[in-house]
Amino acid sequence: MRFSDFSDRFHPGSGILELMDDLSMTGGSDRKTFMLGGGNPAAIPLMEQCFREEMQAVLADENRFEQMIGNYDAPQGNKRFLRSLAELLSDEFKWPVTEHNIAVTNGSQSSFGILFNLFSGKFTDGTSKRILFPMSPEYIGYAETGVRNDIFEARTPIIDAESHGDSTFFKYMLDMETLNLDSTHGAVCISRPNNPTGNVITDQELSELCSATRSADIPLIIDGAYGPPFPSILFREATPVWNENIILCLSLSKIGLPGLRTGIVIADRELIQLIQGSNAINTLAPGRFGPTLVNRLITNRRILDLSRDVIQPHYFKRAKQTVSAIRELMRELPVRIHVPEGAIFLWLWFPGLPITSQDLYLRLKKRGVFVLAGHHFFPGLSGIWEHAQECIRISYSGDPEQVFGGLQIIAEEIRHAYG
């Protein structure tokens, strides 16, 4: 078969395809595997119990189950859900949000597919624009979402390797000096908390990004897949922010419902209407299962309590355990860990690593350990940055024994690589 250029986007070398493939490969095989790669959330018994109860309530209702499976939703998303969420956001955060500022999508991955194409490429004034990631590394899933080539640009961060009172840690910081926004940028996008690093940009950094994007008259896209109001996997203070120049993307995946494919966009009304149009044209309507299942949790605000009292403490504990395990297993190795400030991953940096991150990934995969090679997380970065080849991402959301077992093998391979 012969395909158009459009097929280039779906080539087998894409990082996100590799990741999702690895994620599905681990089941069903006899070989012992250690899944530290994918983005699956942890199976938290209290959350699973809660979702089961919500499902039972949907089933017990006279109409809700039949409506959920038997009717298309509105292209903007389930009306009851939009109203409940708008109420939660305006009550809890005092944001000037109504149901007209919210749209549902089939997972936030698909939200980014729409947003990045709306704000990049050719504009009616004759200019060509790109999406800027102000602080690499950034989420692997952004790469290849553009229908045109070359729609991303990225900046490198300042590496703060000193100020943590502990030489195991380092932290990326936004370099405002190199931001340089101009008419070639259509939007700026940042994940907060960041996937892959677990970094959370400070309120000050966020405020500077807000001012810079406002002055340049372009929107700031904040990927809140791990942020507030839910799942709010934050290990440091970070104020949630929204205004009409911010496009906040949320998801139900990391509260424990990735199978339901529900993304949420909170933005200016004009943009919400475009997303509504895109939903109608591309998928008729977004899925109805997620909004129906969590609507009661949003109305009674239990989703906030669960995020604060169950989800956040779970990951905080797991992050601490995983850091301790790395310290113990790699005591004599030159490993540095990005300060875990949120999300569900640790980002490990091996300065001067004699092999590439892809070689390390392949060596580990051979031994049944799945991690993510660091170089995938730099969409839009031009030139060679050796640092990108010296890092890997590991997820600590899996069973602790599996994570520990995987780390033992990683330590062996790293020792071997340094010779």
Ligand X SMILES: Cc1ncc(COP(=O)(O)O)c(C=O)c1O
Where on the chain is the footprint of ligand X (CB under 6 A)? 39, 107-109, 139, 141, 191, 195, 223, 225, 251, 253, 258, 263
Q: Give the nearer residue to ligand X in terms of CB position, either 107 or 121.
A: 107
272: tokens are 């919400």
- CB nearer to ligand X: give 157 or 263: 263
- Shortest approach of ligand X to residue 38 CB, angstroms? 8
Q: What element of type H or E holds 275?
A: helix 269-283
Q: How far is the CB of 14 from ligand X (least distance, A)?
A: 15
Residue 167 CB coordination number (10 Å)? 10
Specify burial of residue 258 (Cβ count, 10 A radius: 0-12, 13-18, 19+): middle
**Shortest reach from residue 207's CB to ligand X, in Å:** 21
Q: How is residue 344 written in tokens?
A: 């569900």
Tell me how far CA of residue 80 lies from CA of 57, 64, 67, 105, 411, in angstroms.
16, 12, 13, 15, 50
CB 281 within 8 A of CB 363: no
Q: Kindly tell me which of 252 and 272 has the beta carbon lying closer to ligand X.
A: 252
Instruction: Please state the closest distance from residue 62 (CB atom) to ligand X, in A.
Output: 31
CB of 190 to ligand X, least distance (A): 10
Give 256 or 263: the residue with its C-beta nearer to ligand X.
263
Q: How far is the CB of 264 from ligand X (least distance, A)?
A: 9
154 sits in which H/E element: strand 152-154
120 or 195: CB nearest ligand X: 195
Question: How far is residue 344's CA from residue 416's CA, in Å, rounded to a whole number?
Answer: 27
Give Cα separations from 173 to 133, 320, 338 (angstroms): 13, 22, 11
> Is the separation of the CB atoms in 385 and 378 below 8 Å?
yes
